[in-house]
Structure 1
């Protein structure tokens, strides 16, 4: 087997196979107007609730040769050792010190740390987390890609289909917490673990559920933050089921319904 070398690798393929997949909304979105429908993502057993931090989705891609790539949700922005990196949204400046201290990958595989970079001038919601220009990051998922060599020969459509069909192997909740502890990374705030039967399915009750569990962000970077939270991510401990519930979706839908 030829040793992996990032300079000779198929970077567009690696970019595609390590992108973070779209997460469905807990209540389905109406394609006609963006409002919420009554159908929900089904959950069974224990459900873990975490804060959904409103920042920019970012990646640290650890490679088998001991190097790494940094990326936004869509693009690769920097490779270890580069003199110049893409400055988009401050991702490289925020993540390069972290990537430099992460332990090297063990074995012939790719490991991807997904972090939300937020605060500063990253998004319009930055004022909710900081009254100044503080920038923070929170780890929210880790994926392992073991069959990257085979996929390096796939075309873009095939890789995209594999990713959208759940082909990425994400760590479960216990392993994710262990990774955060081992690396010194901070997870998105954990809010609760409840039985799926305690999840509301009515739209108005789900809005009340959000208000109860997330009255303000737990990821503020300073005391001058405005403090409004974006919402909650719901997931099973094995991450086989995952969905997001955002305040704005419920507020908009209930307003249209006159409630």
Structure 2
């Protein structure tokens, strides 16, 4: 069956290409505090910088067209004269999408963190001149897209959140970034899973040791404070995020009240 974006179910396509929820390394509990339960990793673990920006999608389709999207919605299609201006995604990524080669017999999704400018409150950590940048952090190549798009949207959502999307493993992701002229989110370290701290205070120290400053500064005027680290196995079968803000909030609340 030939794919045609003009007749495709865009609700299904949107759901199938959304980025799934990523758990925190220490589980979240009440009022945003972390609990002592943490994600277990076995074998090598890659640490990458978690950039505070807008989760963006470039969706390359089998008919040679493309779509741009935020985390939640589709914003623009190839050939559109006007796109949804939300978060500056279309303005920043349209030229990149136009330059990508067509994809045959698959749906390929580039997941990019768009940051800087006035995108989030943390933009000032990366730029003093409102410069905008983007980094690739994941990619999916969906070859069985016809069977996925035939499912009800609720079933697609459940499939996505259960890890159904075939994400590129680390070597393939790095190769895709190189082919596309993209920079990956910075790779900080590779450690064995047994080296990751299990205690909340120790994990806060681990973050400070491995990510004292952002590596994604866009100019010299940025404040430099990083958001955190994403931990992932090379095949991306296990992935979790650790944010400074979550650990600082939790440790602050655990301090005994002053008398």
Same fold (TM over 0.5): yes
Residue 175 (structure 2) pairs with residue 178 (structure 1): yes
Inter-partner Cα distance in structure 1 for 2:33 and 2:217: 29
Q: Aligned partners of 2:243 and 2:174: how far apart in 1?
A: 24
Structure 1 residue 109 displacement after superposition: 1.2
Q: Which residue of the partner structure matches residue 120 of structure 2?
A: 123
Match of 1:51? 49
Tell me the SS of whatever aligns to 1:169: coil
Q: Deviations over 1:202-258 (max 9, x none)?
A: 100000000000001000000000110000000000000000000000000000111
Deviation at 1:151, TM superposition (A): 2.4
Equivalent position SS for 2:84 = coil
Q: Secondary structure at the match of 1:170?
A: coil
The alignment's C-alpha RMSD in Å is: 0.9
| Mapping 1:132-211, distance limit 5 Å | 132-211=129-208
Counterpart position of 1:251: 248
Report the Cα distance in structure 2 between the residues aligned to 1:181 and 1:113, rounded to whole angstroms.
13
Q: Secondary structure at the match of 1:33?
A: helix
Q: Determine the structure 2 residue equivalent to 1:14.
A: 13
Match of 1:4 in 2: 3
How many residue pairs get matched? 256
Identify the residue that residue 104 of structure 1 maps to in structure 2: 102
Secondary structure of the residue aligned to 2:177 is helix
- Matches of 1:190 and 1:176 in 2, distance apart? 12
Structure 2: unaligned runs, 5 residues or longer: none
| Structure 1: runs of 5+ lacking an equivalent | none
1:81 aligns with: 79
> 1:151 & 1:24 partners in 2: Cα distance?
24
Deviations 1:86-107 (A, max 9, x none): 000100011111111112113x
